[in-house]
Structure 1
Amino acid sequence: MKYSLLILLFFLCAPFIVTSHAQSAKSLQVTQTKASVLGTSTLHDWECVSEKFDIKATGSMESGQVKTVESLTATIPVKSLKSGKSGMDDNTYKALKESKNPNIIFELTSPVEVSNGQAEISGNLTIAGKTQPVKISSKVNGNTFAGSFVTKMTEFGVDPPKAMMGTIKTGDDITLQFEVTFK
């Protein structure tokens, strides 16, 4: 009898427990974004920057500081990447197969817990239509996440661009950097 009362009590309270937990993760609003792709070439180092892209995220904040990120999808339009040189931008869009794959997409694959100003981020990154799992160590300062990681263009099926009939070649290694501020 005592156990059946406990079981009944559990089933009556369970919906409230689940609802209470689900409400702790809420939509995180983004106030500022910046993503950069840095690389090298036989002529000079280069950088392409996107300062405005779409992020949809849920998580929790406490006193203006991000505590968890439960889900996150970032969509960066390829044509939002700018180097300051239109010829280089055109080569970038062509190399990233922008006409068939207009966006670079990152999707979080496991929740993120912020601890001591650090967060380990795991997700799937899609560039030029090819998806690869990535792990990113990031620093968290209150409500701002900043991180970077190194990869190769060829890991995403991207041929490093060439110019001037192949005399200028882009290196295969690239560094992807990001900074996102939530409120």
Structure 2
Amino acid sequence: MLTLRKYLLTILTMALAFGLTAQPLASLFLNEDASHRFQIESASCLYIEGTSNVTDFRCDCEQNFPVRTAQVVAESSHLRFSGATLTLPVSAIDCGHRGINRDMQETLLADQHPTIRIELLNAHLPTEDGEALASEGATIWTRLRITIAGQSQEMRMRVFARQITPQRFRFAGGLDILLSQFGLTPPSPMLGLIKVDDRMRISLDLVVSVE
């Protein structure tokens, strides 16, 4: 049986991770190097939320993700990842209204930079007892590299991870970004009457199966 712990090496590969067994989680991965295949299932969701002086809005990413392979290396209580990247077409972001979709694509410079990239760099493993984590889940701190409109920023994201079945896991988390961090200006449609806030939140709720 695959343990949640064992697949921290993998699944976190997508943007998060965590594991389980009776022994301390950190010690399980010492000096371990592994490559894993993973699939983000259709039940997953990734969305962007924002606010304006008129209303709040949410934009969902309508994207099917292919099977991917990522490399994971253990370094003490940390896991380091290579190839654990989500690539999101800006055109797949649906805000529920054609005009808002157009404004969002223009804001994100979709013509010049058609994708958003979220790359998992590393994760800090919890030290709690594995048996408790198996039933209740665990909180993992991850470091991501986010690339929007050709500009990259490294950020920390807290992720809650839980084992669903021996080979399926759920990861949920979110982080706030500023469009200005990526050299972007918030949209101001209706001749500037509507003003969108610089701060937006990227949230994900991923169901991941691992081979």
Q: TM-score, normalised by structure 1?
A: 0.77
Alignment of 1:3-152 (within 5 A): 21-22=32-33, 24-32=34-42, 33-54=44-65, 56-58=68-70, 70-71=81-82, 72-111=84-123, 113=125, 116=133, 117-142=138-163, 143-152=169-178
Query: 1:29 deviation in Å?
Result: 2.1
Of residues 169, 174, 179, the one that matches 1:153 is 179
**Count of paired positions:** 156
Q: Deviations over 1:74-96 (max 9, x none)?
A: 00100111011000100000000
For residue 87 of structure 2, what is the amino acid of its counterpart? T
Query: 1:111 deviation in Å?
Result: 4.8
Structure with more relative contact order (C-alpha pairs < 8 Å, separation 6 or more): 2
Query: 1:139 deviation in Å?
Result: 0.4
Q: Deviations over 1:118-173 (max 9, x none)?
A: 11111210011110001100100210111001121111111000111101110111
Q: Which runs of 5+ in 1 are unaligned?
A: 1-20, 61-67
In percent, how many aligned pairs have the same letter? 23
Query: 1:59 deviation in Å?
Result: 6.6
Q: Is the 8 A contact 1:78 1:103 kept in 2?
A: yes
For residue 140 of structure 2, what is the amino acid of its counterpart? A
Once residues 75 and 153 of structure 1 are traced to their aligned partners in structure 2, the CA distance between those partners, rounded to angstroms, is: 18
Higher gyration radius (CA):
1
Q: TM-score, normalised by structure 2?
A: 0.67
Query: 1:57 deviation in Å?
Result: 4.7
In the alignment, which residue of structure 2 is the partner of 1:171?
A: 197
Q: Deviations over 1:18-40 (max 9, x none)?
A: xxx54x43112221332111011
Helix, strand or coil at the partner of 2:122:
coil
Helix, strand or coil at the partner of 1:104:
strand
Once residues 169 and 44 of structure 1 are traced to their aligned partners in structure 2, the CA distance between those partners, rounded to angstroms, is: 10
Q: Which runs of 5+ in 2 are unaligned?
A: 1-31, 73-78, 128-132, 164-168
Q: Is the 8 A contact 2:123 2:141 kept in 1?
A: no
Write 1 or 2 for the structure with the bigger share of strand. Answer: 1
Helix, strand or coil at the partner of 1:90:
helix
Q: Is the 8 A contact 1:107 1:124 kept in 2?
A: yes
Helix, strand or coil at the partner of 1:94:
helix
Query: 1:113 deviation in Å?
Result: 3.8
Helix, strand or coil at the partner of 1:79:
helix
Helix, strand or coil at the partner of 1:98:
coil
Q: Is the 8 A contact 2:118 2:145 kept in 1?
A: yes
